[in-house]
Structure 1
Amino acid sequence: MLLTITAKDENTKEISFLFHKHPDKFQTSEITVGKTHVFYPEVSKKQTTIALMLDIDPIEMVRGKRNLSGKGFSLQQYVNDKPYIASSFLSSAIIKMFSTALNGKCNNKPELVSKKYNFEVSISVVSAPKGGEKLIRDLFEPLGYSLEIERHILDKKFTNWGESKYYSVILKNEITVQDLLIHLYILIPVLDFDKHYYVGEAEVKKLLEKGKKWLPNHPLKDLISNRYFLGFKSLQNKMYQILEEESEEEKEEISKEEKIRKKTLHQERLDVVLRKMKESNVSSVIDLGCGEGKLLKKLIKEPQFKKITGTDVSFNALSITKERIYFDKLNSRQLERISLFQSSLLYKDIRFSGYDAAAIVEVIEHLEENRLGHFEKAIFKHAKPKKVFLTTPNKEYNIKYEGLENGKFRHNDHRFEWTRNEFENWAKKVAKNNNYNVEFSPIGEIDEKVGASSQMGIFSLVE
């Protein structure tokens, strides 16, 4: 059985470092039922071919009592195709002769491991029972290969016997050496639907280890695993159990990362608002829609702010705020600085008035868009703080979040979300109607195309 791998690129001689075999040497190694040889039929600047040849001893196979499936006729041990076709013996030879490349290692030139080459792979003969040419194509084409396949007849002298289950195959793909060898290592025994050794739970680990990058998404995942385990359902079920457990763990990790990301963004949002307030030299602040009091807790720590107030429409949120800022344990001096009350931002409330600054952090998107006119009157016309620091999500950034690509909102309580242009148009109109100037600032990591995750408008009352 002969396998040749030809690289057709500039400086293809460098693949010898990956295969860990010198082009000038003919190398031979003993295997359980014969010998395997590695040599280079061609080495040039633009094309290099490495060959792996198996020299299997049929008598040794019988002596060693190797498993030849045992499902055929009584002389199958003596009359079979194993010495001549690509089979599990080839997979064993790949491990024996190319283990370094198979594991993605190259000490001399590690940068070559991730380099893709234009490969043409010739397999002299493969056996494809219960599938034939269609199976060969369906296995390799989803992995990016183009194929040339020639089917052999059973006997040239007796053509009426028909065609055989044997094919010569040429595979072409731009791929790394490691991925190429992994595909051959796994899929050749799948085609043959047979193995020369005991198939147990170790095969599950082997398949998952070598196929982790491509097998879960392969359209023939079920067929590959079934044939790789020689039809043993218990092993196939074990594989799916492991995949399901890994998938759940991955989802948990993604969920944790998502929570951390959201927490980090919200903290950055609060920190930016706090910094801008400090830079504006304001001394009295009202947090409109204070929620659970995260900004209030930061404000209390800053002696610059002499008067701090939090208000929210939710009584439950205010209760949480009290616990967060340890309201019941504050001394008399601290109680003179901080106050809380329940109110709605859609109605005029005299208690909103008299502050240097108002913070409205990720609040307006929770209001009905057609009621923003009432919000504008309550805050900008009647309360009239000298500064308003207002943030809201940037709708354009949602495509960066998994699951939000199709117009979904970031939170199930959001009534709307605006693009940067929509927000700026609204903010400029509000400023003009109520004698304010407004400037805009992004919050969060900035993407060149879609901007930052949050957007802030800083309104300044024109004296």
Structure 2
Amino acid sequence: MLLTLTTTHRPATDLGYLLRKNPARAQSFNLSFGRAHVFYPEAGEERCTAALLVEVDPVGLVRNRRGPAGEGGLLDQYVNDRPYAASSFLSVAIADVFGTAMSGACKERPELAQHPIPLRVVLPAVPSRGGTDLLHRLWEPLGYEVHATRLPLDEQFPDWGESGFHRLELETTQPLHQVLSHLYVLIPVLDNDKHYWVGDEEVAKLMRHGEGWLSTHPERAAITRRYLKHQRGLVNDALAQLADDAGTDPDETAGLKGAEEAALESSVETLPQSIPATPPEGSPKEQEPTPEERAPSLNEQRLGSVLAVLKGSGATSVVDLGCGEGKLLRALLKERQFTRILGMDVSHHSLETAADRLHLDRMPPKQKARIGLLHGSLMYRDDRLAGF
């Protein structure tokens, strides 16, 4: 994956001082998931461009998968977009390689570090499930001129249609450290995922890197949800802190949250379940039907019927072909009768969502041994399904 930063500030080579990377030579850095390289395609008095190239080792990610992020992350072991699509890997690389610049410190040019300079940012491949509109709604309120072009699935086969990726070009005049902070937060927001475990530390990071801009951003609720990977407790904590920073009424913020999220998320094709907004104080919670009182949906009735047939058959092993986001798999896991459960789907994204909702990364080993997820299609004979 690639990120380029270009300035026409004079002398433009001051960009090297701000980034603490010498334009005269290329530098490489080891990362936990690969390597990062910094080089300057052009470095003149009138124009200077710094490039950050991140090489992700997809095989190493699979082999070394361990810890809390484990199986809930990159399930598509054979083919995935992680090596080229801007994601949380790029955010981590920005923090590791340009950490000093992102803090606003510069020993050689301290005044320039806080001074707005013209900058052009290019990300050749950005995932955006909300389409081009999402890119504009995230970046334009921060003072960027946005140029986004949706990329084709394959340039040699235009009939295949468009992909879910965009070439993103941003132009602005701001201090470099502010632009890097925007990139650090919003890149994983666009990807709507992270390659590592999200906990309380991520709330602190969001507050630190979102200081001065996130609390007033019109899409702050959606940004917070996506950055914190839709974990309700963390999201509510972060939104409360943002309300304090903005000097707004927390109850009012809670009431507006649902409307803000709905406006943005309605443009997204496939996302995890939305988080209901906290009702304002004094709202009639007791009038809402309880889960026991609510009539089951048609889909819930179908799942119940399927589960009843499987239980009645005496089967102990079940394969769900076209498991989607894992609703039936979750129901099967609750029944001790089923000792071997396998879900298969052609969609990588659906499998990742299923893994998140099943909490595979935190599942006890004995329980985890009962279930598996496979990427595959009904159109092909698959030896991995033998025995079902």
The answer to whether the Cα contact below 8 Å between 1:40 and 1:49 also exists between their aligned partners in 2 is yes
**TM-score normalised per structure 2:** 0.61
The answer to whether the Cα contact below 8 Å between 1:68 and 1:77 also exists between their aligned partners in 2 is no
Write out per-residue CA displacement over residues 189-240 of structure 1, whole angstroms, 9 at most, x where no aligned residue: 0000011100011111110111020001101001100111111111110112
Instruction: Return closer, same or farther for 1:118/1:149 CA change in 2, 3 Å cut-off.
Output: same
| Cα shift at 1:25 | 1.6
Give the whole-Å Cα distance in 1 for the aligned partners of 2:169 and 2:4.
10
What amino acid is the match of 1:23?
P
Instruction: Return closer, same or farther for 1:10/1:248 CA change in 2, 3 Å cut-off.
Output: closer
Q: What does residue range 98-113 of structure 1 map to in structure 2 within 5 Å?
A: 98-113=98-113
The answer to whether the Cα contact below 8 Å between 2:224 and 2:239 also exists between their aligned partners in 1 is no
Give the whole-Å Cα distance in 1 for the aligned partners of 2:243 and 2:28.
42
Give the whole-Å Cα distance in 2 for the aligned partners of 1:249 and 1:164.
40
The answer to whether the Cα contact below 8 Å between 2:4 and 2:121 also exists between their aligned partners in 1 is yes
| Cα shift at 1:68 | 8.4
Instruction: Return closer, same or farther for 1:61/1:42 CA change in 2, 3 Å cut-off.
Output: same
Report the equivalent of 2:350: none
Give the whole-Å Cα distance in 2 for the aligned partners of 1:120 and 1:172.
5
Instruction: Return closer, same or farther for 1:25/1:68 CA change in 2, 3 Å cut-off.
Output: farther
Give the whole-Å Cα distance in 1 for the aligned partners of 2:180 and 2:124.
16
Look up the SS of the partner of 2:13 in the other structure: helix
Report the equivalent of 2:92: 92
Report the equivalent of 1:6: 6
The answer to whether the Cα contact below 8 Å between 2:215 and 2:246 also exists between their aligned partners in 1 is no
Report the equivalent of 2:83: 83
Look up the SS of the partner of 1:38 in the other structure: strand
**TM-score normalised per structure 1:** 0.51
Give the whole-Å Cα distance in 1 for the aligned partners of 2:95 and 2:204.
16
Identity of aligned residues (%): 40
Report the equivalent of 1:232: 231
Aligned length: 247
Report the equivalent of 2:30: 30
Give the whole-Å Cα distance in 1 for the aligned partners of 2:215 and 2:92.
24
Report the equivalent of 1:387: none
Instruction: Return closer, same or farther for 1:243/1:150 CA change in 2, 3 Å cut-off.
Output: closer
Give the whole-Å Cα distance in 2 for the aligned partners of 1:16 and 1:69.
40
Instruction: Return closer, same or farther for 1:248/1:51 CA change in 2, 3 Å cut-off.
Output: closer
CA RMSD of aligned residues (A): 2.1
Q: What does residue range 266-285 of structure 1 map to in structure 2 within 5 Å?
A: none
Q: Structure 2 stretches of 5 or more lacking a match?
A: 250-388
Give the whole-Å Cα distance in 1 for the aligned partners of 2:71 and 2:169.
27
Report the equivalent of 2:198: 199
| Cα shift at 1:112 | 1.1
The answer to whether the Cα contact below 8 Å between 1:68 and 1:196 also exists between their aligned partners in 2 is no
Look up the SS of the partner of 2:105 in the other structure: coil
Q: Structure 1 stretches of 5 or more lacking a match?
A: 251-463
Larger RCO: 1 or 2 (CA < 8 Å, sep 6+): 2
4+ residue runs over 6 A deviation: none
Write out per-residue CA displacement over residues 273-313 of structure 1, whole angstroms, 9 at most, x where no aligned residue: xxxxxxxxxxxxxxxxxxxxxxxxxxxxxxxxxxxxxxxxx
What amino acid is the match of 1:237?
N
The answer to whether the Cα contact below 8 Å between 1:7 and 1:47 also exists between their aligned partners in 2 is yes
What amino acid is the match of 1:62?
V
The answer to whether the Cα contact below 8 Å between 1:88 and 1:195 also exists between their aligned partners in 2 is yes
Give the whole-Å Cα distance in 2 for the aligned partners of 1:175 and 1:213.
13
Look up the SS of the partner of 1:239 in the other structure: helix
